[in-house]
Structure 1
Amino acid sequence: MNTSPQPEAVAVILAVEIDHFAEVVDALQRAGLTVTSEQPNIGTLSGTVVRDRIPALEAINGVASIDEERTIQLPPPDAKTI
């Protein structure tokens, strides 16, 4: 039995051409992106993908940029600063 670990998916945010939004999204999904949110009016979407598939997504015509999502935790307003 093969119990090798599954590659971990990362959350990404993409900017794509607005004029071809639906076609680009279809191509991204065929290349391995799982879409979690779409904003076609501004040409952005978010989703998850296995990290080693990101270069394949970047190569799709109509993709302007791909950024990995990051979480930033701000301190509470009353926290003392150094």
Structure 2
Amino acid sequence: MTEPSRPAPVGVILAVDPDRFAEVADALRRAGLTVTGEQPVLGTLSGTVAGDRIPALQAVDGVVSVDLERIVQLPPPDSPIQ
């Protein structure tokens, strides 16, 4: 019998209540977030989570927004298109 496949992790950026930053960050970790960056003064976190866990992150009290991380690739400096 094979195990069900897990959804691939996705990068997310979260805005949270800066006055409750530590409390909200702990709750997000319990909800499945692997934190890769914290900016407590700004009230933002970045991390990875299984794609199907995003609604659980959004439901955490103190979370203002959850955005998918976007990667932008710029052309090399010597490229004709700038």
TM range (shorter): 0.7 to 0.9
Look up the match of 1:72: 72
Look up the match of 1:12: 12
Matched residue count: 81
The residue type equivalent to 1:51 in the other structure is G
TM-score normalised according to structure 1 size: 0.88
What is the CA-CA distance between 1:6 and the residue it aligns to? 2.5
* Cα separation, 1, equivalents of 2:80 and 2:24: 47
The residue type equivalent to 1:15 in the other structure is A
Unaligned runs of 5+ in 1: none
* Cα separation, 1, equivalents of 2:62 and 2:43: 10
Look up the match of 1:21: 21
Deviating above 2 A after TM superposition, structure 1's stretches of 4 or more consecutive aligned residues are: 3-6
Look up the match of 1:32: 32
Q: Is the 8 Å Cα contact of residues 10 and 51 (structure 2) preserved in structure 1?
A: yes
Q: Where does 1:45-60 land on structure 2 (aligned, <5 Å)?
A: 45-60=45-60
* Cα separation, 2, equivalents of 1:61 and 1:3: 32
* Cα separation, 2, equivalents of 1:73 and 1:37: 21
What is the CA-CA distance between 1:70 and the residue it aligns to? 1.4
The CA RMSD over aligned residues, in Å, is: 1.2
Unaligned runs of 5+ in 2: none
Calculate percent identity across the aligned residue pairs. Answer: 64
